[in-house]
Structure formats: structure tokens, C-alpha cells
Amino acid sequence: MIEPSEEQDSVENAPPLTPEQALANLQSSDLGLRYYAAWWLGKFQVNQPAAVDALIAALEDEADRTELGGYPLRRNAARALGKLGDPKAVPGLIKCLECSDFYVREAAAQSLEMLRATTAAPALMQLLDGGVAEAVQIVGRPHLTQPYEAVLEALGTIGATEAISLIEPFLEHSIPRVQCAAARAMYQLTQNSVYGERLVKILDGTDLKLRRVALGDLGAIGYIAAADAIAHAKVENSFKLIALKGLLEHQLVEELKILSLSDEAIRVMNLMDSLL
Amino acid sequence: MTDELIRAVALADTPARMVMAVQNLAAAKDVAAIPTLIAVFGYNNPTAAAVAVAALTELGEVAVPQLLTQIDDYNYGARAYSIRTLAAIADPRALDVLIDAAATDFAPSVRRAAAKGLGSLHWHKLGFPESQTASQRALETLLFISQDPDWSIRYAAVVGLQALVKIPDLQQLIRARLEEMLATDAEKAVRARVQLAQG
């Protein structure tokens, strides 16, 4: 069993840094220190302009390479920039969508989603070129030709309705997680409950990991009709709470610092209370 | 009779048979079943564990001493079920265990269950002045964890504080803290729960 909020454990085992040190370490001759510093700046959301600039520069790093030609520092820099919330990073991240390293492309797509980068739509759509027929496993690697899940999710979140016809075929992709990402995006772009119900149906399935994925998706799209199904899903309470939090946040409208609590919002909170 | 039902739990060789065996044992409502029902928390079978939680909660106070002494320090899944059960029974003898769990456990599921429970113990069973110091200690713990970095812990703290507000002596501090959270908490979901608690 894993609990999503327990990742801080790993932080306590790492050497303590300050923002200044992390920034300096990004230029260190020790590639391990650079890699760690990039992660650290994202984790602790050091969104000072100097940190953002240094991370954007790290997106073009050539020094840190894996045996298979990957770019570890670029991956961490791309991930960190999503967490820092500075739109200045968008052009560099869009460029990363063409990187030869799958994991750099994946991190860039995820961060562009976090930054709500609507200008990334054309570049993201390009990664869907060839459609489902091209979306196959790469021999000898644990991933597909492109980071389809991240790309579909990003297109949904940034509201790229022009991508609907490209996304829809992925509902029939052979990998259930990709289907989930497509259903999530289709719901976001159309608000049609058919797609929300596809995710609800997965909560009844036999695969625990997939049920967790579907919970995450339902929370992300705030599909309120799923509230009871989420509360009763056979998944750890921590995942259910996060999903219901997503539903709740979609129900809350902020008016001058005061939230208006609808009956639906109160119903979701009662379900959350029961899961404590 | 209960012995046989207990043996059936030990012999259950599929998850479904385990659930069935625990249901049968729960239906006996026998105090002799308590250690076995607690042991079910550690079998990584959520359905069976839920049945055991309900059965122990129904047995109530008589189950509390064993629940307190048989908490599994090495399995946080099992520990969360124990804390949830103690919170539901609400016997104030669980206070120290709940305070420990809420403030120092590493597992969020355990801390949330403890935070909720800390608000709603049956304080009057302690008599005066113990009831007063006990509820005061619960309040201090909830105020402390209402500043936790994890939103779900703060959310659970609000649920605990809302229950505790029924105690007149504590109202002023609780209302002040809720106001503060409403003004400063970064999470909309936590602020919404504060508003619900404020009524």
C-alpha cells in the first residue's frame, strides 16, 4: 500500500539545501548535485526568477547523459518548472516536446499542463501524429512511442477543443491507462457525462492500480456524479480523499474570500469526513 | 461455538472465505472474539477489516483495553483500523493513544483517524476534573496538527475541532483558530470545511 502524501519521507533523508546552494549546485561540476538541485528547487517551489532562469537553461543541458541517450537533468528541470508556475518556462518546455528523450517529452507535457499553457496545443497535438496506429510500445523500453497519457491529459486541461477528433480514437487504445487519459480529456473538452461514466466504470474493475488512476482522473475533472462511487471504491482512503477533494474544489465558487457551499459541496464533505 | 468460528477465520484460505468467516464471528457478538477481530486488521483484507471494525465498535467499551494494547506498531494499515475503531467507540481511555497517533504517527491515514476521534470522546465518563484536563489536551493536539503541511491532516483537525466546540470552556479558542484558518489556509477544500464547521 502507498499513501500519496508520504513522499516527504524521502526528503528527510537527503542533504539539506538552501535556495542559494541549490542554485549554485545547478552549475556544479558534479552532475549528481545538479540533478538533485533541479529536483529540490521544484519540490520546495523556489520560484525566484533566478531559479526559473537557471532551470530553463538546464532544459538544454548536454552534459548529463544516460547510456541510452537520455537527459536526466533536462527531465528534472522540466518537472520542476511545472511546479514553479512561471509562464516564462512555456517556450522552453514546448521545445522539449521534440526532445529525443521520451521522459523529457513526458515531463514537459505534464508541466505544460500544470502551467495551463494554451499555446502548447499545436506542439502537443503533433505528438498524436499517426493516431492510435502509431501509439505502440517501443521494443525493449517500458513505454510507448510518445507520452500519450501526459499529452492527452494536457490537451484536456488546457481546453484544446480543436484536438477532440485526435483524442477520441484513443478511447479505444489497447492500454487501459491511455483510455482513461482520453476519457478524462474528452470529458474536460465536451462536459459529456458519457466520458465521466467510463471512468466510474473502471472503479468496479479488478485492477487496483487502474482504479487509483481512475480516481485521480475523476478528481481532476471534478465529475460530481461520481462522488458515491468514489467513496465506496475498493481503494485506500488517501486516494479517495484526494479524488473527493477534486470534486469539492470544482463545486466551490469563491466570492470575496467567502466560499459558497452548495448542497453538493456539503454532500462531498460528509463523504470525506466518513473516510477519515 | 465461538471457538469454532475463530478457527474458521484462521483456516480461511481465500479473501472471500475470510470475509464470510469474519462475518460469522462478528454475528456471535462474543467478547471471546475480540483478539481475533483485532488480528483481522492485519490481514490486508479491507472488506473483512470493515466488518471487524463494525463488530468491535458494537461490542464497545469492553473491547477498548485489548484495542489499546494490541495496536500493531509495524503495520500502519492495521493501526489505522485500530484507531478508527477506538475513535468510533469514543471511550476516553483512548485519549493518550489518540494524541500520540494524531501528533506523531508517520502514516496520514492513522493521523486523520485519530484527529477525528479526538473531538468526540465521551468526556463525561471521566468525571471532574479529569474530563476538563482531558478535553483540554485533545484541544491542544488538534490546534497543533491544524498547522500540519498535509492538507488532509488539517482537514481532519477541523472535523475534530468542530466536535470539540460543544465544550463551552473550549469554544473561544476553537472559534479563534477556525477564523484564522479561514483567513490563511492555502487549500480551498480546507477553508470550505472550516466554513461548514462554523455553521
Q: Do B191 and A259 touch (CB under 8 A)?
A: yes
Q: Tell me the average pLDDT across A124-142.
A: 92
For chain A, the average pLDDT equals 92
Q: What is the pLDDT of residue A3?
A: 47
Helical pair A176-190 and A193-202, crossing angle rounded to 10 deg = 150
Q: Of the given ranges (A73-77, A78-82, A123-127, A250-254), which has the lowest mean pLDDT?
A: A250-254
Burial of B137: CB neighbours in 10 Å, binned 0-12, 13-18, 19+:
middle
Q: How many CB pairs under 8 A join A and B?
A: 63
Identify the residue among B111, B180, B190, B195 best suited for mutation to test binding to A, counting A beta carbons within 10 A and taking the highest: B195
Task: Report the amino acid identity of residue A130.
Answer: G
pLDDT of residue B186 exceeding 60, the answer is: yes
Bond before A91 cis per omega within 30 degrees: no
Q: Structure pTM? A: 0.87
Give the pLDDT band (50/70/90) at residue A9. very low
Element (H, E) at A258: strand A258-260
A95, A65 in Cβ contact below 8 A? no
Q: And the C-alpha cell for A109? A: 507535457
C-alpha cell of B177?
Answer: 483558530
Model pLDDT, residue A6 = 42
Q: What is the pLDDT of residues B18-41, one digit of tens each?
A: 999 999 999 999 999 999 999 999
A110 vs A80: CA distance, rounded Å: 10
pLDDT tens digits, one per residue of B77-114: 999 999 999 999 999 999 999 999 999 999 999 999 99
Phi-psi region of A218 (alpha: psi -120 to 50; beta: other; left: phi over 0): alpha
* Residues of B engaging A, defined by a Cβ cutoff of 8 Å: 44, 46-47, 77, 80, 106-109, 112-113, 115-116, 149-152, 155-156, 159, 183, 188-189, 191-193, 195-196
How many other CB atoms are found less than 10 A from the CB of residue A24? 14
From chain B, pick out residues whose CB is under 8 angstroms from the CB of A238: 108-109, 152
- Neighboring chain A residues of B78 at a CB cutoff of 8 Å: none
Confidence tier at A17 by pLDDT (50, 70, 90): confident
Condensed to tens digits (0 to 9), the pLDDT of residues B157-175 reads 999 999 999 999 999 999 9
